[in-house]
Amino acid sequence: MTHVTERPSPSGAGSSADRQPWTAGSNSVGRKRTATYADAGVSIHAGDLAVELLKSKVQRTHRPEVIGGLGGFSGLFRLDTTKYKRPVLASSTDGVGTKLVIAQQMEIHDTVGIDLVAMVVDDLVACGAEPLFLLDYIACGEVVPDRIAEIGAGIADGCRTAGCALLGGETAEHPGVMKPYEYDLSANGVGVVEEDQILSRERVELGDVVIAMRSSGLHSNGYSLVRHVLIGQGRLRLESVMEDLGTQHTLGEELLTPTKIYAQDCLNLIAECEVHAFAHVTGGGIPGNLNRVLQGNMDAIVDRSTWRPQPIFDLVQRKGRIDTPEMESTFNMGVGMFAIVASQDSDRALALLTARGVDAWVTGEVIEGSGDVRMVGSHTRG
């Protein structure tokens, strides 16, 4: 986000690669004009302007540990070792996937940055780590300063929600490789957790309670299937208002609902309750993520009757004629995060989450088994 280059720099923090333009001849009178980087489709000026538009947003994400500002070759963050006895750094990298295609078609660019942050920081907090800072990477066919600023503003908003600093990143212009309106996003985040407080499957015990936290919708997974069954081959129009969704939003706006960020809610839960594990529901759906925090001698019961997925899931399933196991292995089905807590702390955990505005409920428990997630019951219908 600090420079525009044709290739990402090794540092990933904005170094300029391939600064020198090739020349087709000298610029002397009567000879071929010297070629420029702009002739090849790369605008350093546009990238610099995008950074200027973003600076104030980014600076509002900075924590006291941040050293310096945007524009350096790397981002600096002072780790206060006096706060920790045995600090362990956690790192996570992710992207947004083909949800970006919807954003590009709708020309709405200020929400996908929130999705990007959510995918990274909620993976970090799953092990109990506090997200400290994030660096982004934006690749695009053409740097349009206002568009890059909108994307970056969403990233900054997500970082503020997560409580982490946006240290910088890279904006790479790839003319001839990507179409002018195309872009892709990724980010790397770093967090910290005390070694003896790392959450993992080893902490989960028989009799633990499974608490579900409602998602904001599809989040950022399964969009290739969504696009195939809803808008592929002219099936539905993104600008159409869908009565099936129960809102006045267009289909496109519904599909661009930002991913909910749970990081600070989870950290507060850890501070107040006996939490043994978190499961961030992304690719693989509920069974494919919840089983990652189960030991081999236990199963998790998830009772579908304890919640109703948002209407978008029913729309996707009906239009695509998708069976339930496929839906549940692809989408979050209305649950973005699970907390596995000690049974004696379940009421306290629910009260804390409710106080923070998180829709949460007990959906099951951990029982003897073989490391599987048992989906039981049927979803309630309105």
Tell me the pLDDT tens digit for each residue of 118-165. Answer: 999 999 999 999 999 999 999 999 999 899 999 999 999 999 999 999
What is the per-residue pLDDT for 17?
A: 36
Summarised one tens digit per residue, pLDDT across range 189-205 is 999 999 999 999 999 99
Q: What is the pTM of this model?
A: 0.86
Comparing 354 with 243, the larger pLDDT belongs to 354
What is the per-residue pLDDT for 112?
A: 98
Mean pLDDT of 213-239: 93
When pLDDT is cut at 50, 70 and 90, the band that residue 37 belongs to is: low
Beta bridge partners of 130: 192
Q: Fold for domain 201-376?
A: Phosphoribosyl-aminoimidazole Synthetase; Chain A, domain 2 (3.90.650)
Instruction: Say if residue 59's pLDDT is above 90.
Output: no
Is 201-376 in the same CATH topology as 41-194?
no
For strand 298-303 and strand 373-376, is the pairing parallel, antiparallel, or unpaired? parallel
Summarised one tens digit per residue, pLDDT across range 261-276 is 999 999 999 999 999 9
Distance set, CA 131 to CA 48, 106, 127, 134, 346 (Å): 28, 31, 11, 8, 25
Contact between residue 248 and residue 316 where contact means Cβ atoms under 8 Å apart: no
- The arrangement of secondary structure in 41-194, i.e. its CATH architecture, is 2-Layer Sandwich (3.30)
Q: In whole angstroms, what is the distance from residue 276 CA to residue 51 CA?
A: 41
Summarised one tens digit per residue, pLDDT across range 368-381 is 999 999 999 999 77
Q: In whole angstroms, what is the distance from residue 157 CA to residue 117 CA?
A: 9
For strand 87-95 and strand 66-67, is the pairing parallel, antiparallel, or unpaired? unpaired
Instruction: Indicate the domain borders of the chain.
Output: 41-194, 201-376
Summarised one tens digit per residue, pLDDT across range 268-318 is 999 999 999 999 999 999 999 999 999 999 999 999 999 999 999 999 999
For strand 183-194 and strand 298-303, is the pairing parallel, antiparallel, or unpaired? unpaired
CB contact set of 288 (below 8 Å; sequence gap of 6+): 329
